[in-house]
Structure 1
Amino acid sequence: MSATAVRPGSLTEGPAHRDPNVLRWLGGYTSSAIGDNVYYIALSWAAVQAGTPAQAGLVTAVSAVPRALLMLGGGVVADRYGPRRVVLGSSTVRCLLVVTAAAMVLATSPGLWALGAVAVLFGVVDAVFLPATGALPARITGRDQLARVQGMRALATRLANVLGGPLGGLGVALGGTGGAFGLAALLIGVSLPVLWTVRVGQLPPDEGKERGGAVLADIRDGLRHIGRDRVLCPLVLAIALADLGFVGPMNLGLTLLAQERGWGSSGMGWVLAGFGTGAGAASLLLTLRGWVPRAGLVMAVAEIGGCLAIAGLAHVPTVVGATCVALAVGLLAGLGGALSGALVQAQAGPAYVGRVTAVSSLVGFGVAPLTFPLVGAATDRWGTGPVFAACAALCALGGVLALCSRSLRRAELPR
């Protein structure tokens, strides 16, 4: 690490979107994110071939369990050993796991248990990888560039979502499931030499002490750090509520809505494209602007507006109308999400970024995916309208909490 560590003040060479160091990180992050999407396409395809659609859904969702159980510990690992080192190590393991899956598919016809084991192990590694990759931006750029970097990260995520599906399908078409797994491993592997060249800033001397002792003690220390901060505490709660209400309707819920309305897969594709376009526009705005005044207030208002649009989505009868509403959802939720991420990184103490990132990401990556069966059962009983409204109300509660917190409402990003 000493060969790539630099002083924080020397990291930024102008705006982040023109900084070669940040662009190297962005390239590695994008390649890895596309690989993740291809991996999940390959895993779901292999699971469908080995069992029923319900069993395939269980295999693809099971990786959320270890993320939910272990992510707080993953934040401790990121803070103890540095996010760059942890990202490189965990990415290497993720690449080897996908290579193993490709070898299994090529050598034999793996059953659901074997595929489930791969998914669980991938989730275990993700519990370490996700907090580290979330904490890394704060160590590669100046504090005044955090909003811009979050916008760039969101743009990369949207690009990965757009390209991952077609590339995964192409991999299956040309090389079968093994070929798709191989493509995912290649994309994750390509990110390693790129991320190796990324320089990271050094912690201040009093923050950079080697940590030891029990992991649970460090977790409690991180939770106390969040609880004592007048901005972080309501911000993390607001993010958790927003994720808990947002993930269900905008993932499984959209599929069920398309079936209920008779839009078919093409109609659902248009709605998803509208959402992706709106989220991409919000990310591009932050990337180019780099700073938003009264970030806490803008975040809260944008989140509430996005939740109202989610509730309305279930009552739009046409594909065109739903696409326009989804565009608004993406624009508002994308802006609120990127600002909340930037505020987390700006407010967290330098030695706590990994743990704070883990806590703020826990619901979105670990808990919310486990609610999909509940969303499906509720939709089957009451229909999409009430379920979307209930989820939107839960999501909007996070924005209301942010508005009620004077410190968070007045929070500003560094300039």
Structure 2
Amino acid sequence: MTAALLAPADGTDRPAHRDGNVLRWLVAYTSSMVGDSVYYIALSWAAVRAGTPAEAGLVMTASAVPRALLMLGGGVIADRFGPRRVVIGSDVVRCAAVLAVAGLLFAADPGLWPLTALAVVFGTVDAVFMPAVGALPARVTSRGQLARVQGMRGLGIRFASVVGGPLGGLGVAVGGAAAAFGLAGLLIAVSVPLLVSVRMRDLAPDEKAGAGGDSAWRDLVAGLCYIRRHRVLAPLMVAIALGDLGFVGPLNVGLVLLADERGWGAAGMGWVLAGFGIGAGAASLLLTVRGRLPHAGQVAAYAILAGSVAIGALGHAPTVVTAVVVALFIGLLAGLSGALCGALLQTHADSAYLGRATAVSSLVSLGLTPLSMPLSAAAIGAWGTGPVFVVSAAVCGLGGVVALGVRDLRRAELPR
């Protein structure tokens, strides 16, 4: 399972959507993401049935702390042991944990403790899994295909978000949380043999520098110093952080409160979210078809700026139809900028540091940006939706200003 399977060198630039190696990775990734979606539905349903709403909320957030605390260490592990090996091991652990809880629920009613333990295990494994997932595409295809792979990955995420919810609900309806957990475990298990068959591009001798030093701590410090000194990666991390900070609050808590304030109801909010999903899917499809966009740094910067304007406009949308159209543009621009930022990170980071670079960007998105959700809710309660959406748009727009203001990032290109 951990044998080194080597992909062809960068000289063969087969289109990623026609490369069986990439397609096996994509199916494995998508199956794992669908399993994740089903898992979260099963966990929330089981937690609500087993405890009070407050206890269920604690179970649902139990994975956040280990994921945030261990994410940087997960990047070190991905770089030391290789992303494919780490992803396979992570999926095996997640599958075993979910199926074990499913068995417990089938046999008895154990209460909240196994659900809490499962959430902690998932958060701990995610801290290793996510950096490895981010570093894997650069090792399964050539550098010139990474933008297309980011688009394909985005389509996989959209597919998982659309299919995972109904599958999880079906599992709960048919056999309760135990059946849903079992379904999630099987979907995650599908990814393992596919990942075993994925061929990896071996690191060149000059790319191995910085991978596997004297200690994990030194590897972590070396990775952080590498990012801080890099002319593209350092400002890119700042742009990602600002963009996500201004984006997460309005499109999560803010949208719920906006729909309630305008009287759109749950159906209206669902249509707005559908508009966002369609726009994000269109951006992923564009990159999948095109494969590469010229002036990637500039395009990402302008997409962040335009998306920030759309976020501000969403807070002042008078009708559901207007909000859906605006959300479609937000999804399109956010999906485009996010995919380009991911491709720039993968192409400009040395392969030996890619896991640590992905860990830093993931920590920014999953560790810091959720803090904006309670702040957004409190601010909307004090000042209303309109001013808060405008402030969030300004924060998001600062990410575009950084991307335009730093010459090396502004001029960053994707390889041909």
Q: Specify if TM > 0.5.
A: yes
Structure 2: how far apart are the matches of 1:367 and 1:18? 37
- Percent identity, aligned pairs only, is 65
> Unaligned stretches of 5+ in structure 1?
none
Residue 108 to residue 261, structure 1, CA distance change in 2 (3 Å)? farther
Matched, 1:38 2:38: yes
In the other structure, the counterpart of 2:250 is 249
Structure 1: how far apart are the matches of 2:376 and 2:118? 26
Q: How does 1:153-164 map to 2 (within 5 A)?
A: 153-164=153-164
> Unaligned stretches of 5+ in structure 2?
none
CA offsets 1:301-335 (integer angstroms, 9 cap, x no match): 00111121112112112211111111000000000
CA offsets 1:200-221 (integer angstroms, 9 cap, x no match): 1000123336614332211110
Deviation at 1:392, TM superposition (A): 2.0
Structure 2: how far apart are the matches of 1:233 and 1:63? 28
Give the residue type in structure 1 aligned to 2:349.
A
Matched, 1:14 2:18: no
Q: Secondary structure at the match of 1:247?
A: helix
Residue 14 to residue 6, structure 1, CA distance change in 2 (3 Å)? closer
Give the residue type in structure 2 aligned to 1:397.
L
Question: Structure 1 length normalisation: TM-score?
Answer: 0.96
Deviation at 1:7, TM superposition (A): 4.2
Give the residue type in structure 2 aligned to 1:30.
T
Give the residue type in structure 2 aligned to 1:133.
V
Matched, 1:384 2:385: yes
Structure 2: how far apart are the matches of 1:298 and 1:54? 44
Deviation at 1:237, TM superposition (A): 1.1
Residue 105 to residue 387, structure 1, CA distance change in 2 (3 Å)? farther
In the other structure, the counterpart of 1:172 is 172
Q: Secondary structure at the match of 2:393?
A: helix
Structure 2: how far apart are the matches of 1:47 and 1:261? 31
8 Å contact kept, 2:62–2:119: yes
Deviation at 1:354, TM superposition (A): 0.4
8 Å contact kept, 2:13–2:142: no
CA offsets 1:42-81 (integer angstroms, 9 cap, x no match): 1111122233444433322331211111111000000000
Structure 2: how far apart are the matches of 1:281 and 1:115? 36
Q: How does 1:197-208 map to 2 (within 5 A)?
A: 197-208=197-208
Q: How does 1:113-152 map to 2 (within 5 A)?
A: 113-152=113-152
Give the residue type in structure 2 aligned to 1:98.
V
Deviation at 1:273, TM superposition (A): 0.7
Give the residue type in structure 2 aligned to 1:46.
A
8 Å contact kept, 1:68–1:363: no
In the other structure, the counterpart of 2:285 is 284
Please say which of residues 93-102 and 52-61 is displaced more in the overlay. 52-61
CA offsets 1:1-55 (integer angstroms, 9 cap, x no match): 4441234336x56211111100010000000011111111111111222334444
Give the residue type in structure 1 aligned to 2:307.
G
In the other structure, the counterpart of 2:228 is 227
Matched, 1:70 2:77: no
Q: How does 1:387-402 map to 2 (within 5 A)?
A: 387-402=388-403
Deviation at 1:371, TM superposition (A): 3.8
Deviation at 1:131, TM superposition (A): 0.2
Q: Secondary structure at the match of 1:31?
A: helix
Residue 54 to residue 265, structure 1, CA distance change in 2 (3 Å)? farther
In the other structure, the counterpart of 1:403 is 404
Deviation at 1:264, TM superposition (A): 2.0
8 Å contact kept, 2:66–2:127: yes
8 Å contact kept, 1:95–1:185: yes
- Runs of 4+ in structure 1 deviating by more than 6 angstroms, as ranges, are none
In the other structure, the counterpart of 2:274 is 273
Give the residue type in structure 1 aligned to 2:358.
T
Structure 2: how far apart are the matches of 1:355 and 1:409? 23
Structure 2: how far apart are the matches of 1:296 and 1:377? 35
In the other structure, the counterpart of 1:193 is 193
Residue 176 to residue 2, structure 1, CA distance change in 2 (3 Å)? closer
8 Å contact kept, 1:293–1:412: yes
Please say which of residues 361-370 and 130-139 is displaced more in the overlay. 361-370
Please say which of residues 60-69 and 106-115 is displaced more in the overlay. 106-115
Give the residue type in structure 1 aligned to 2:306.
G
In the other structure, the counterpart of 1:104 is 104
Residue 57 to residue 267, structure 1, CA distance change in 2 (3 Å)? farther
In the other structure, the counterpart of 2:27 is 27
* Count of aligned residue pairs for this structure pair: 414
CA offsets 1:334-377 (integer angstroms, 9 cap, x no match): 00000000000000011011000111111212222344333333
Structure 1: how far apart are the matches of 2:260 and 2:112? 27
Structure 1: how far apart are the matches of 2:63 and 2:249? 17
Deviation at 1:112, TM superposition (A): 3.7
In the other structure, the counterpart of 1:90 is 90
Please say which of residues 68-77 and 40-49 is displaced more in the overlay. 40-49
Structure 2: how far apart are the matches of 1:54 and 1:393? 34
Structure 2: how far apart are the matches of 1:272 and 1:54? 26
Deviation at 1:224, TM superposition (A): 1.1
Residue 337 to residue 87, structure 1, CA distance change in 2 (3 Å)? same
In the other structure, the counterpart of 1:315 is 316
In the other structure, the counterpart of 2:328 is 327
Give the residue type in structure 1 aligned to 2:332.
L
Structure 2: how far apart are the matches of 1:235 and 1:330? 20
Residue 260 to residue 107, structure 1, CA distance change in 2 (3 Å)? farther
Please say which of residues 106-115 and 401-410 is displaced more in the overlay. 106-115
Give the residue type in structure 1 aligned to 2:380.
T
Residue 55 to residue 317, structure 1, CA distance change in 2 (3 Å)? farther
Residue 388 to residue 103, structure 1, CA distance change in 2 (3 Å)? farther
